[in-house]
């Protein structure tokens, strides 16, 4: 049996809430956790609605939605999963759109380990390279594609440590259980640069674009908070927050 684990707290401020305020349950790709915290607070101030998020891998969310998990909105880490759910009748037709294009980063908490051109992958000097499960997480798939494009997949296969999601891949590196790993740039990006440790922003040409699509799920149809959130994500305020974490469109 598939079990979903919604976050047991609300990432929102109830400033300006009124009688029309409502909640929206959102399945959120792990790479988008930090931006969502800021978006939730700003969205609550503007609309009075509250975001109740669950964070995880997009592949897991697909299975949970098919099993009946009560999500109203999906913020995926790819564009294929929302399209599939829409085609299968689990999403509202015409509601799907790209809310962000993600960037992949090779990151280590150790200063100087990862150079600005990613040559560490060729030079070695590390034991474990973490990445999200490529069957479940688009950022993991992008990491595998990057290694394949560089001609290093076979060489580094024995160094790979697979995480369930890009959030867990980040934790493997942050905890020191992996020397370095492929993570979402948004997880390590602040004030226009990689904020700590050392990292390489993977060039776009080394993997397919990571287009992240939003979808109104059938459980959210006609729900004011769900529809308001999707509208908010299209607006300039949300786009400014998303851009500040290294995403593009």
Between β-strands 210-216 and 73-75, what pairing exists: parallel, antiparallel or unpaired? antiparallel
pLDDT of residue 4: 42
State whether 75 and 122 are in the same domain: no
Given a contact cutoff of 8 angstroms between Cβ atoms, the answer to whether 247 and 102 are in contact is yes
* Domain-located, residue 222: yes
pLDDT of residue 21: 80
State whether 151 and 195 are in the same domain: yes
* Domain-located, residue 12: no
State whether 179 and 217 are in the same domain: no
pLDDT in tens, the chain (249 residues): 334 444 433 444 444 444 468 999 999 999 999 999 999 999 999 999 999 999 999 999 999 999 999 999 999 999 999 999 999 999 999 999 999 999 999 999 999 999 999 999 999 999 999 999 999 999 999 999 999 999 999 999 999 999 999 999 999 999 999 999 999 999 999 888 998 999 999 999 999 999 999 999 999 999 999 999 999 999 999 999 999 999 997
User: Which residue range is the domain that position 164 belongs to?
Assistant: 104-201
How far apart CA 39 and CA 65 sit, in angstroms, is: 23
State whether 214 and 97 are in the same domain: yes
Residue whose C-alpha is closest to residue 80's, from 149, 148, 27, 136: 136
CATH number at residue 148: 3.40.190.10
pLDDT of residue 13: 41
* Domain-located, residue 121: yes
Quote the number of domains for the chain: 2
* Domain-located, residue 140: yes
State whether 128 and 183 are in the same domain: yes
* Domain-located, residue 2: no
DSSP code at position 205: G
State whether 62 and 149 are in the same domain: no
State whether 232 and 147 are in the same domain: no
* Domain-located, residue 234: yes
State whether 93 and 152 are in the same domain: no
How far apart CA 137 and CA 31 sit, in angstroms, is: 10
* Domain-located, residue 131: yes
State whether 39 and 92 are in the same domain: yes
State whether 226 and 188 are in the same domain: no
Element at 98 (helix H, strand E): strand 97-102
State whether 44 and 163 are in the same domain: no
State whether 94 and 141 are in the same domain: no
* Domain-located, residue 192: yes
pLDDT of residue 5: 44
Judged on CB neighbours under 10 Å (0-12, 13-18, 19+), 115 is middle
């Amino acid at each position: 049996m598939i079990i979903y684990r919604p976050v047991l707290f609300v990432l929102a401020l109830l400033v300006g809430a009124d009688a029309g305020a409502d909640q929206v349950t959102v399945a959120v790709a792990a790479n988008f956790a930090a931006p969502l915290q800021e978006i939730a607070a700003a969205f609550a101030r503007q609309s009075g609605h509250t975001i109740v998020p669950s964070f995880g891998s997009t592949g897991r969310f697909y299975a949970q939605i098919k099993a009946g998990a009560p999500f109203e909105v999906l913020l995926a880490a790819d564009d294929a999963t929302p399209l599939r759910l829409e085609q299968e009748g689990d999403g509202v037709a015409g509601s799907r759109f790209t809310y962000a294009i993600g960037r992949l980063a090779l990151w280590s908490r150790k200063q100087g380990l990862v150079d600005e051109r990613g040559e560490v992958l060729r030079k070695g000097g590390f034991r474990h390279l973490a990445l999200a499960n490529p069957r479940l997480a688009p950022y993991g798939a992008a990491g595998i594609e990057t290694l394949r494009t560089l001609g290093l997949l076979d060489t580094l296969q024995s160094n790979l440590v697979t995480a369930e999601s890009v959030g867990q891949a980040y934790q493997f590196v942050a905890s020191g259980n992996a020397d370095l790993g492929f993570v979402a740039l948004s997880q390590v990006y602040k004030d226009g640069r990689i904020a700590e440790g050392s990292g390489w922003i993977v060039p776009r040409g080394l993997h397919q674009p990571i287009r992240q699509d939003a979808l109104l799920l059938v459980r959210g149809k006609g729900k004011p908070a769900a529809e308001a959130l999707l509208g908010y994500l299209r607006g300039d305020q949300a786009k400014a927050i998303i851009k500040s974490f290294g995403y593009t469109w």
